[in-house]
Amino acid sequence: MDHVSKDVRSKIMAAVHSRGNTTTELPLGKILWAANLRGYRKHWPVVGKPDFAWPGRKVAVFVDGCFWHGCRCKYLPRTNTKFWRNKIETNKRRDRRVSQSLRRGGWAVVRVKECAVRKPSTLARIGAAVLIGRADRAIAPSVTPSPRSLNRKPQTHLPGRSNKRGESKSPTHR
């Protein structure tokens, strides 16, 4: 990376960093669709512009690229290490701020690492958040979770929603 100008480097970074690339958002979109978790909006205009959001249920899903969000599955480049570490730490701080801010507003936030997009547990997490909806969170946005939410186990399978044909037809674009 050292041989390219700052200008070119920032363009490369913008391209890699941009959301909606093929290793993150597209595969998860297909998985959600196949699992009947539909009716989401992409890049809903709330804090952080979640990759997928169910605004009515207040569920936000972010797909985070492993390198840019500091996943342990990636190593830092050997050159300019300080620069990259800084950059990634900044991203992680922003991730935390975004998640906190949304949760304070009653949203359920699910962050998915690029390398975990295809894990069944990822789908289970999203499915649980979407199906539970926002009722509990809207009533009790306090710091201490209610006993009910503590006892609740994440659902590992999703009940069919074939009776709601209209839902799948709602537009996914803005």
Phi/psi of residue 13, nearest 5 degrees: -60, -40
Nearer to Zn ion, 1 or 73 (CB): 73
Cβ at position 113, least distance to Zn ion in Å: 5
Strand, helix or coil for residue 108? strand
**Residue type for 54, please?**
W
- Which residue number, 16 or 138, has a Cβ lying nearer to Zn ion? 16
**Least distance in angstroms from the C-beta of 69 to Zn ion:** 8
Contacts of 127 (CB under 8 A, 6+ apart): 35, 37, 155, 157, 158
- Please say which residue, 48 or 64, places its beta carbon nearer to Zn ion: 64
What is the helix (H) or strand (E) element at residue 60, kind and residue range? strand 59-64
CB closer to Zn ion out of 39 and 65:
65
Chain contacts with Zn ion (rule: CB under 5 A): 66, 71, 73, 113, 115
Buried b / exposed e over 36-46, threshold 16 CB at 10 Å, is: bbbbbbbbbeb
Shortest Å distance, C-beta 18 to Zn ion: 18
State how beta strands 59-64 and 52-54 pair.
antiparallel
User: Closer to Zn ion at the Cβ: 34 or 73?
Assistant: 73
Minimum distance from residue 115 beta carbon to Zn ion (Å): 3
Q: Least Å distance between CB 119 and Zn ion?
A: 11
In this structure, what are the phi and psi dihedrals at residue 99, rounded to the nearest 5 degrees?
-60, -45
Residue 111: what are its φ and ψ, rounded to 5°? -105, 130
